[in-house]
Structure 1
Amino acid sequence: MLKDSFFSINQLKSILKDYNLRLTKRFGQNFLIDRNKALQILKLMELSLQDKVVEIGAGIGTMTFLIAERVSSVTAFEIDRGFLKLLNEYSKDFSNVQIIGGDFLKVAKIENFPEKVKVYSSLPYNSAVKILIRLAEFRDNIERLVVLLPEEIVKRAQAEPSSKEYGVFTIFFSSYYKIEPPLIKVERNLFFPSPDVDSKAMLLKPLSKKEISYNPEDFISFVSKFFQKRRKTLRNILNDLDLKLDNRFYNLDLSVRP
């Protein structure tokens, strides 16, 4: 079966050769080749035949078509033009799969997130943060989000204050997403080609706009200003920015540093 060939290195190489495709690090093209691990990750999504799923970074369709067998519809984004021909040909056997070519950060619209959708993405290091910020804009339309991330990004997301990994992304992440256990470790040797680091699959529940109303980009910009002045106290930073806190923050210690 087609979807099983994605988990064989030899058949995967043959597919890439047939379509004259070359893998690039820029797009994070490391494909999961362990079927059991793929199914384990899918369990985090709790898929049903009524679900609508959005996938970011379909690649050759490793997860796309496994998901399509279990849900009402899949809208899959793919940035690499070379892979679009392959995906469009393979998706002819799936009436519930829509392939959208282009950079998700540029082409995604609210119309791609009807009602409540579930989202899956294997995010490369160089675009993971930007995509998570973009997804936060659609948070009221996302029921659950399963992401496969390099471990370094996961450490930054879960970092404790005063640790070297703690920063603007940590604050953004904890403000817009809630991590639901368990986290699934995916060793680097379970990908082709093997990346330099291991990864982890995480189930995220986006917080609603009622819980955090700020636009994600504005939030990031605001928090970044504090981290640019880490040697100063909160009081001095607020003075520099000509900002005043309202009564909700009267207990805040303004003598601390970010």
Structure 2
Amino acid sequence: MSEAGCRAGARRLGQNFLVDRNILGVIERLAALEPDDVVLEIGGGQGALSERLAGEVAHLHVVEVDLRLSDALHAALDGFSNVTLHFADALDLDFAALDPEPSAVVANLPYSIAATVILRTIDELSSVRSWVVMVQREVGERLAAAVGEPAYGAPSVLAQLACEVRVLRPVARTVFRPVPRVDSVLVGLRRRADSAVEPEVRALVHHAFAHRRKALARSLALAAEARPGVRERAREALVEMGHPPDERAERLSPEEFRALAARLRIGA
């Protein structure tokens, strides 16, 4: 594929390829992988990071949606017997079917799907203990945001219920080709011992943030599947938890959402 074609395809798919060997080394060090790790890389691109990872771990799953990158990936990885290439859209991939099951996610994620993919792997791959991922700065800030910060929202709550989340470091635009129009950061996540997020908690979080300008209880009442009386029960539960009855979602911590879900379940 020509360089011009590569650039056009990259922009269309939200891909920016890593071309700086120093940042590849930084990612590798931050990931702190062990020889028995099984790594999932989403957005293999031209294989620069894939090649580094394959030589360090027991197995590497590489997911790439762009078939035009097949030759480049095979050229980078054909010397390794511990690599499985998946030419598929990560949004459609059955993560639970990956064999062997991943223990870590290390990736330069396509910006357009980064938050969705991170949350899906947290939810669907209980075997994964750690993530080191390159994302758009705004996505990283959203995942790591604290209560009351402008970026705090549903992704913050869902990620932090399951994982410890940190923005590890900023990354210069010059390490990518094509050069992106946005800033990037490396984000690290480490799964908590009690990381399960029940479906009812996940639904509550999404409904609570669906109408950010409205009170949390009102936002829950506006959900299509809202049960009668949920607004009143939510207001009562918030008061019991020490919040005003008309509190907004961005004032509740991740654990308070879990507690609120439990109170609403008991009062149903």
Measured after TM superposition, the shift of residue 159 of structure 1 is 2.6
Letter aligned with residue 95 of structure 1: S
Q: Report the counterpart of residue 197 of structure 2 in structure 1.
A: 213
1: CA distance, partners of 2:103 / 2:221: 43
Secondary structure of 1:104 counterpart: coil
- Per-residue CA deviations over 1:3-24 (Å, capped at 9, x if unaligned) read xxxxxxxxxxxxx539974533
Letter aligned with residue 197 of structure 2: S
Contact 2:10-2:178 within 8 A present in 1 as well? no
2: CA distance, partners of 1:30 / 1:101: 18
2: CA distance, partners of 1:78 / 1:163: 34
- Per-residue CA deviations over 1:130-180 (Å, capped at 9, x if unaligned) read 111211223421021111011111122233444432222222222232125
2:146 aligned with 1:155: no
Measured after TM superposition, the shift of residue 250 of structure 1 is 3.4
Contact 1:57-1:122 within 8 A present in 2 as well? yes
TM-score, normalisation: structure 2: 0.77
Q: Which runs of 5+ in 1 are unaligned?
A: 1-15
Measured after TM superposition, the shift of residue 115 of structure 1 is 5.1
Q: How many residues align?
A: 239
2:30 aligned with 1:44: yes
Q: Report the counterpart of residue 223 of structure 1 in structure 2.
A: 205
Secondary structure of 2:12 counterpart: coil
Secondary structure of 1:135 counterpart: helix
Of all paired residues, the percent bearing the same amino acid is 26
Structure number with higher helix proportion: 2
TM-score, normalisation: structure 1: 0.80
Q: Which runs of 5+ in 2 are unaligned?
A: 250-268
Q: Report the counterpart of residue 192 of structure 1 in structure 2.
A: 177
Contact 1:144-1:204 within 8 A present in 2 as well? yes
Measured after TM superposition, the shift of residue 227 of structure 1 is 2.4
The 10-residue stretch of structure 1 (47-56 or 114-123) with the greater mean CA deviation from structure 2: 114-123
RMSD: 2.9
Letter aligned with residue 253 of structure 1: H
